[in-house]
Amino acid sequence: MCIDYTDLNKAFPKDAYLLPSIDRLVDRAPSHALLKFLDAYSSYNQIMMYLPDEENTTFIIDQANFYYRVMLFGLKNARATYQRLMDKIFHQQIGRNMEVYVDDMVVKTTSVEAHTADLAEVFNQI
């Protein structure tokens, strides 16, 4: 099933939260011995919708009316909301031992010996 939220996206103001520059993230990687790439697959579906906005996602099928209780990838401000959350969660690690671009993460380590500790730090933060 595909639900068209074009009208809803037009009605809501755009969130001006800036996404990081992908070029800047790539430029920070070469000086590290190991890079571990992580994809937060389906992570949008783990962020709860703001309760008053749930009714805005209502859709109708033959059997009943439904609405989403989790954030949808197709909403205009989903990427900005997700990036803001990732920046908040990983603020102590971004730029030091990891980079985050929406749902793609890179854990970067300067030495092979420190790699396990850097990964553990990221996973413990989740």
For the chain, the domains span 14-43+75-125
Reported as a single tens digit per residue, the pLDDT across 93-124 is 999 999 999 989 999 998 989 999 999 999 99
For domain 14-43+75-125, give the fold. Answer: Alpha-Beta Plaits (3.30.70)
Residue that has been written with the tokens 């205009």 in this structure: 76
Q: Are 79 and 19 in contact (CB under 8 A)?
A: yes
- Could you tell me the pTM of the whole model? 0.84
Strands (E), the chain: 34-39, 59-60, 65-66, 98-101, 104-109
Q: What percent of the chain has pLDDT over 70?
A: 100
